[in-house]
Amino acid sequence: MRLLFKQRLFSWFDSYDIYNEAGETVFTVKGQFAWGHCLKIFDGLGNEVGMVKERIFTFLPKFEMYMGESYLGCISKEFSFFKPRYNIECNGWQVEGNILEWDYRVTDTVGNTVAIVNKELFNWTDTYVIDLIDPCNMLPLLMLVLAIDAEKCSRK
């Protein structure tokens, strides 16, 4: 399954639209005014289904993920020199990116690919393509991409 993750060009806070392969809006993400990033995720019917919230006052960036009101896990950037690495305290996933920080591979505890995330170049806004193996992982993977994009945005 493939998702297209596209940041809105004119928005006061971080806002994104997530489309499926047919071009239908699957999720909408709206940034909230808060200390650090706070991104609320809404399904196609406008129901809030999740949230990614930056934990402030940490040495390396950390983002908490919530599915509804339930804590799902945390993603944190690991210290690395060349390739960006992230640790996910959810499903035992690992994330490793290329040196340009445009492409990422998400793997499970035994090294199997869960998803591949690629940043599309030559767009006005941040645009990612998420190729996921299991549609059940759609929302946690979306949260992961949101956290990585927010972390990169914070550094700039």
At 148, the pLDDT band (50, 70, 90 cuts) reads confident
Closest CA to 74 of 151, 138, 5: 151
- Give pLDDT tens digits for 86-112: 778 888 888 888 766 778 899 998 999
| 5-35: pLDDT as tens digits | 888 765 556 788 999 999 999 999 998 766 6
Task: Return the number of other C-beta atoms located less than 10 Å from residue 63's C-beta.
Answer: 27
Contacts by 62-68, CB closer than 8 A, 24 or more apart: 63/37, 63/143, 63/146, 63/147, 63/150, 63/151, 65/90, 65/140, 65/143, 65/144, 65/147, 67/139, 67/140
For the chain, domain boundaries: 2-74+118-155
| pTM assigned to the model | 0.83
Cβ(110)–Cβ(118) below 8 Å: no
What kind and span of H or E run contains 146?
A: helix 138-155
